[in-house]
Amino acid sequence: MTQWLFPPRAVPSLPITGGDRRFPVRRILCVGQNYAAHAREMGSDPDKQTPFFFSKPGDAIVADGQDPAYPSATDNLHYEAELVAAIGPTPDGGIGIVGWAVGCDLTRRDLQAEAKKAGRPWDAAKGFDQSAPCGAITLGALPHPAGAIGLSVNGETKQAGTLDDMILNPDRIVEAAGALWTLQPGDLIFTGTPSGVGPVRPGDRIVVTIDGLETLSFEIKP
Q: What is the CATH number of the domain that holds 83?
A: 3.90.850.10
Q: Is residue 153 part of a domain?
A: yes
Mean pLDDT for the chain overall: 95
**pLDDT value at position 51?**
79
- Say if residue 37's pLDDT is above 80: no
Q: How far apart are CA 55 and CA 126, in angstroms?
A: 7
- Say if residue 205's pLDDT is above 70: yes
- Say if residue 189's pLDDT is above 80: yes
Q: Is residue 81 part of a domain?
A: yes
Q: How far apart are CA 104 and CA 222, in angstroms?
A: 18
pTM here?
A: 0.95
Number of domains in the chain: 1
> Strand 95-104 and strand 138-139: pairing?
antiparallel
Q: Is residue 51 part of a domain?
A: yes
68 band by pLDDT with thresholds 50, 70 and 90: very high
* First-residue to last-residue Cα distance in the chain: 43
Domain of residue 141 covers 13-219
Q: What is the mean pLDDT of residues 122-144?
A: 98
Q: Is residue 1 part of a domain?
A: no
Contact 41, 195 (CB under 8 A): yes
- Say if residue 46's pLDDT is above 70: no
Q: How far apart are CA 211 and CA 145, in angstroms?
A: 9
Q: What is the mean pLDDT of residues 131-147?
A: 98
**pLDDT value at position 47?**
66
DSSP SS3 for 179: coil
- Say if residue 49's pLDDT is above 70: no
- Say if residue 176's pLDDT is above 90: yes
Amino acid at 34: N
Give the range among 31-45, 94-108, 139-153, 206-220 with minimum mean pLDDT: 31-45
- Say if residue 45's pLDDT is above 80: no
**pLDDT value at position 41?**
80
Beta pairing partners, 156: 153
- Say if residue 44's pLDDT is above 90: no
Q: Is residue 6 part of a domain?
A: no
**pLDDT value at position 48?**
59
> 87: closest CA among 135, 23, 131, 32?
23
Q: Is residue 2 part of a domain?
A: no
Q: Is residue 8 part of a domain?
A: no
Calculate the alpha carbon distances from 171 to 57, 67, 87, 188, 191 in Å.
22, 31, 11, 13, 10
198 band by pLDDT with thresholds 50, 70 and 90: very high
